[in-house]
Structure 1
Amino acid sequence: MDNTTYIALSRVDTLTRALDVTANNLANANTDGFKASRQLFSEYLVKQKGPNTLPGDKQEAYTQDQATYRDQLQGPLRATGNLTDFAINGEGYFTVRTTQGIRLTRNGQFHRRMDGTIVDGSGNPVLDNAGRNLVLQNEEDLLSVATDGSISTQTGVVGTIGLVTVDNPQTLMPEGHFLLRPTTQTHTVVRPEIRQAMLESSNVNAVSEATRMVEIQRDYDLTFQLIQTESTRNMNAIDKITAEPSV
């Protein structure tokens, strides 16, 4: 296997990863609060080696999958009419208490349990701005949530939805079920903006992702065709050498 094949294989490897990332984005195009993943590619240079290598000879350039990051662009907000649905307009994350600890989420599709606790879709209690479970009395009906997150019922203000942020959102580790695990210190959002009876849609543009998938597949096919061509060329060269009569 020569260097051309190795370089092409490095490209195939990164394209395979890109296809997986794009497919996951498409699968979550309708997932509330989902942030699309993007890839960072880099050129991995390797110096040529051998007895005939001269100073200044070109280096071999391989493709390297450097990292995957989340696109932090906010998704569009859509009205749901459900009073326990909340959307964050701007920065910040809701906080929920799980059996593994505090987790963050942008998906504000919540509901109230029979005991009055506000929970997410997995039953994790939503926390207020003091880090306590957000609980409404059973007899109270949720009336309104102000843009700062304060919840008002017939008895007045009964709590405030807590929003936090981190210095670098890329350090948040996804854990499934719309949850993110903070790996650095969180900070309270100074000027939160919450919209009641609304949800933040996915920021995935399905048309763009589908187009991207077609482009990746085409590049993959062309690169794989190059590998097959190089393999055929090498086999033909070997056949010619072995077929030549020895002197």
Structure 2
Amino acid sequence: MQSPSYIALSRQTALWRQMDVVANNIANMNTPGFKTESMVFTDYLMRSRGSDGPWSDTVAYTLDLGTHRDLSVGPMQETGNPLDLAINGRGYLEIETDFGRFYTRNGRLMLNADGMIVTGSGHPVMSTEDAPFFIAPNESTITVSRNGTVSTENGDIGRLRVVSFEDEQALLRVENGVYDAGEQEPEEVADAAIQQGMLEGSNVEATQQITHMIEVQRAYESVQKMIEAESQRQRQAMKVLSGAQNA
């Protein structure tokens, strides 16, 4: 395989990864707090083989550097559910998992069988006291203030731990809307703006992403045709050379 095929293959590989990212965006357009992701590309220049002079040719391979996350706040949706919470501004809820502390903006919460406030996946939501929240069986009214203080008719039971990070782009998505901070230390957000009975919708623009998916699919097919044409050209060239040698 020569340079044109390698170049085309690098582009096709990048397009395949880009399609995965776009498909994931579309799959999560109804996931509360989900942030749109996009691929980041660059060209990798390499001197072509056999060109050692000062004016040697270079070939450009496509290299994907990773993904960029759109951190803009999604649309606020009123639900009336007291355990639906939206963060109107910066910050993430801290949750406890079997693999350590993770972070999310998906505020669709619920009570488990033990009266603990958990995420839809069953992960406890943590307080500033580094403890989960428990609602007693005889408590029926749950109120969450703007600063994240959770209370019932019997009084305050704690304040939600809302944190931010120096580099939010470095957060690693481990599942839909849940992130691992890695080596970054969370910093508590003192001015967190919690809205009870609301959910932050995904900031995915459905029409834009579907259009993008079509464009990526067409580009992938175009590169595939180019690879096939180049393969055919090489086979034809070998046939001609073979015929000339046998003449």
Using the size of structure 1 for normalisation, the TM-score is 0.93
The 3 A distance-change label for structure 1 pair 194 and 246 is same
| Contact 2:104–2:178 (Cα < 8 Å) also in 1 | yes
User: 1:29 deviation in Å?
Assistant: 1.1
- Deviation per CA, 1:74-99: give whole Å up to 9, x if none: 21110111111101111111111222
Report whether the alignment pairs 1:195 with 2:195. yes
User: 1:142 deviation in Å?
Assistant: 2.6
Which residue does 1:43 correspond to in 2?
43
* Moved segments of 4+, more than 6 Å: none
Which residue does 1:17 correspond to in 2?
17
Q: For residue 40 of structure 2, give the secondary structure of its aligned residue in structure 1.
A: strand
- For 2:109 and 2:233, locate their aligned partners in 1 and report how far apart those are by CA, in whole Å: 61
- For 1:122 and 1:213, locate their aligned partners in 2 and report how far apart those are by CA, in whole Å: 29
Which residue does 1:138 correspond to in 2?
137
Structure 2 segments unaligned to the other structure (5+ residues): none
Report whether the alignment pairs 1:119 with 2:118. yes
The residue identity in structure 2 corresponding to 1:102 is R
| Contact 2:129–2:158 (Cα < 8 Å) also in 1 | no
Which residue does 1:80 correspond to in 2?
79
- For 1:113 and 1:243, locate their aligned partners in 2 and report how far apart those are by CA, in whole Å: 77
User: 1:60 deviation in Å?
Assistant: 0.8
Structure 1 segments unaligned to the other structure (5+ residues): none
- Deviation per CA, 1:28-72: give whole Å up to 9, x if none: 11111211221110100101232x542122311111111123221
- For 2:147 and 2:36, locate their aligned partners in 1 and report how far apart those are by CA, in whole Å: 27
The residue identity in structure 1 corresponding to 2:208 is S
Q: Aligned residues: percent identity? A: 37
User: 1:208 deviation in Å?
Assistant: 0.5
**Pairwise mapping of residues 1-247 of structure 1 onto structure 2 (< 5 A)?**
1-50=1-50, 53-176=52-175, 178-183=177-182, 184-244=184-244
User: 1:109 deviation in Å?
Assistant: 0.8
User: 1:246 deviation in Å?
Assistant: 5.1
- For 1:74 and 1:42, locate their aligned partners in 2 and report how far apart those are by CA, in whole Å: 28
The residue identity in structure 2 corresponding to 1:236 is Q
- For 2:245 and 2:125, locate their aligned partners in 1 and report how far apart those are by CA, in whole Å: 81
RMSD: 1.7
| Contact 1:122–1:177 (Cα < 8 Å) also in 2 | no
| Contact 2:172–2:180 (Cα < 8 Å) also in 1 | yes
How many residue pairs match? The answer is 246
The residue identity in structure 1 corresponding to 2:180 is R
